[in-house]
Structure 1
Amino acid sequence: MPDPNDNNPDPNVAVRGFAKFKRAYEKRGNEIKLIRIKGSTAKTLASERFIFSGTMKTIENLMDKFEEAWEAAIEYAETHTITPQFPSQADLDYFQGIKNYYYEAFGFQEDIARSVSFMSSPPGNSSRIGDSRLSHASVPGRAILPKIHIKTFRGDFAAWPTFKQLFTSLIIEEPSLSDAERYHFLLSYLDGPALDTVKSISVTEANFNQAWAAVTLVYDNKRKQARSYIDKLLDFKPGVGKPTAESLQSYLSHVSESIVSLKALSIPQFDDYLLCELALRNLDPVTRQAFEVSIISKDYPHFNDLKEFVQGRFKVLHLTSESGVKSEPAPLKNVSGPKRPNSFTPKSHSNQALLTHASKPPREKASPKESSSLVCPLCKQQHILVDCPTFKSSTPAQRLESLRQWSGCRNCLYPFHKTKECKSKWSCKFCKARHHSDLHLGSKDSSTSSSSQSLGSTSPSPASPEFAGTHTSSTCGVLLGTVRASILDANGRAHVFRGLLDPGSHVSFITDQCARKLGKTTRPYRGHISGVNGSPLKNISGRLNISFQPPSTSALTTEVIVVPSITPSLPQSNLTSSMWHDYLSYNLSDPDFSISAPISFLIGADLYTDVLVGAPLTIHENGPRLME
């Protein structure tokens, strides 16, 4: 057999090489066709049934080899000049025809099995359908059926036609099954969003038809099937790096399967419908929803339908819009120079952390010459720090955080000298370190909080060992950029998750829990990802493609890596400040940015520039900045 990687310029050699691949898949295809013909004959001639039964044991292996030879022929045609071009429309029709023969052969096997009655089977030992997940009392006289091969249906519209055909043929049309048994089979073959459609229906014999109708109502939608094939075709992303045989095989599989499936739907005026679907991808969600309502009774919209609708909406909005020139609102503040966007200092002097910019110099410390009396750095009252009610009622970690901007001594809590200048013979009674006993942290906190730790430092979090990504210390006064975004699930429905923006990450991530809620199946990931300090990221669950749906623009699609967790909840504790109401007057992506909540995804450098489109806006000089 010729080497597919040998791109010989001689067209005659290329044609002869391709002929071997073609003969390979046609040989398997013809054998499948003969088995189907034999099944048709066996329905009426009992003498042919034993031969047909024997050939059916080989049909699955034949189908696997047929598809392998077909893909090999496509790959060879891609790397050589083949005339006429392969696959042509006739070739695609042949491929679909063989698949139809394959399914028809199983249908004939079912028809023959139903016509055979095994009345000699003793009660209680009747043969059952080849699936051991149900165990009910046997009914005498049931037919011996072949083992059922039905893949679990998880809500993928592209997989619905095959699932519906097999389930109808092997379960619904099987006369020896009761509706209660059919319902149990249905539940065993559904998962994810598909299973959710019947969870509210009681599992009784009388409710099977209602349950099947509920599943069919949602997924027996040819337009949704067509759109899923288009999305699968357009959203496919090849592997990063040098192309390999596996990556090209994956590409051909996705493209060929999507195109063949689209053609099998026999959509009228397909080119016009395709243009309409492509144009809808760039339409704002509000207008698109109104358009879908206007064509609710139409199976496949055309581009002219969309064009006329948008023109009508334009006229309405143009006529109803307010006249006159609208005044531009004055900006609150000018954009400041380079500054970390997530540092801030609350103005209130409560027992909350006194957070500030890491590079900001400390305040001028008081001296005995400048102050005739002691002033508490927390409540500004006339008493020393150890007598402050706020200081006493705080935890050691809160005390350390509150004193981060304080220039006094952490050992004796005297305000007019630094710790390294302290001459006191006393030290911490718990650990003998040079800090006050009221500032001592337990062993569980000592790794993440220290009186000498600089603001904004990072340390690995023991709560999330799986992901070597972004971590913040418990004493850090930094707000990381969080967002709330809608992610489309396998059925095109939007779910809102909270995530993190990190331009330092080369790729984007989502958690296992987020992937399960989206109902999407992961693909293997064989690459290597390094986290902090170059340590390899372990426990990668796989990769998949997701689409973020912004409120007023087209969806942003990217490939994400699925990991058990990304980071602990951010921020690590709720933050309060009197300045927050100024920020909440804006339309924030994450209005609850100061409230600790789980992180479900991380947007890396692959989408960062698409998400942030404007310059940073400073609301408060010492507060976090807004990013558009």
Structure 2
Amino acid sequence: MEALVKRRGQYKSRVTTFKTYIAKVMHSFPDATQALEDTRRLEIQERLTVIREVYEKYDEVQANIDELTNDETDTSQYRERFEEDYFNVVAHAEELLARGKMTQQLLGAAMNESTRGSHARVTDDTAFIPNLSRQANQNIIFKPTGIKLPTIELPKFKGNVDEWLGFRDTFESLIHTNETIDPIQKFHYLKASLEGAASQIIKSLDFSAANYAIAWETICNRFDNKSLLTYNHIKAIFSINSIKEESAIQLRNMIDTLNKHLRALNALGQSTEHWDTLLIYLTSSKLDSITAREWEKERVDKELPTLEEFKAFLSSRANLLDTLELNKGGIHKSKHSDHIKSKSFLIQKQECVVCKEAYHLSSCSKFLQLTPQKRAEVLKTAKLCLNCMKPGHFIKVCKGGTCRKCSGKHNTLLHFEKVSSESTGNTEETNSSSSVLCSHNRASDYHVILSTATILVEDSQGKKHKVRAILDPGSQSSLITTN
């Protein structure tokens, strides 16, 4: 790793040296119209060739460092600084080499213009050359506007077929057909623009100027498939999402999606100008019920509306929905500001009446150690409900649940069982006939209603009558006399 870093530093030093040399040349020849002598031009060409070889070696070393290091941020920043210096100095060198060619072209253009514009012969060469110089300067030197334009970013392509045409056209216009960019630089831009599955296609190619054309051809052969592209764009039109309810955003998305894929199909040589009826039927079937009804009203007087008319309707409808939403929001905001309701909520902290801690009585260990009778006394003393064990009301108006053991109107923690003290005979008889009763605390006005049953009773004449019998669940037997 240390050896790689050291080699990288050497390459950076070579670029810095070349940068210093170019700066001196530009300082010696400040006039942009002045052509360099042949010796100087040849020297710059040789140095430029060497520095490009240095960049190739640097890129290999940097790639090895990227694989070995875990600090991606540091390596990325170093590469960014290095490439900024490299491309800047290469551009200045190319500009110096082009000075002579540009001057010759301008001189030739000026000579032709002078010949066409005047029949008089120019005899004073010294008078002609300054004019030529001024004309050359007017064509070469541009005054800065003071406005810094944003940098054009290269498009990113991840292998999505729908995005291929846009990526291809943009990359070709900015990089591929740009003659001022060397093949090795084009290859670098291409690798930087490809991501995901697309980057894997050219990953095996060595990074060199000769392989750029192969890389670009490989990418084009993989994605520049007209039949596949056409199929995908048609599929995307058929897959436009349905609109469930009125929405300006969804209507505009529908228009944009339709326009995007139609333009792509036209670029692929498909004649879509006769698809109006089909596309209108397809997209109108995906509209919400209200917009679809409005479209039917719109097309009543039109036998066969065009696609442009349909898109104009959707755009107008979206504008209307935006206006209504804006007005609705303003009215709602005004009403809301006029009728502001303030609410306050008081949370009462519940405290255990036994140990005075901040939790419910049912969680108190001291309370749970008491007998049901003692628990009831605690609740009565604290004026708590015997059913929900909360303050503020009594058991007769409590809406809480009943006992889970006997369904009585009391809390399950207050439930207890007692054996009847009455004996009907010997000990065994007493044990077998003893009744288990449920005892619970009730308010003084709490009444018990016994259940009844409707039965048929036959009188002395054999006639049957419906009577209601009382059933006592606390008794082992329910009796009725003959009378």
Alignment TM class, shorter chain as reference:
under 0.3
**Higher RCO, 1 or 2 (CA under 8 Å, sep at least 6)?**
1
Higher helix share: 2
TM-score normalised over the length of structure 2: 0.27
TM-score normalised over the length of structure 1: 0.21
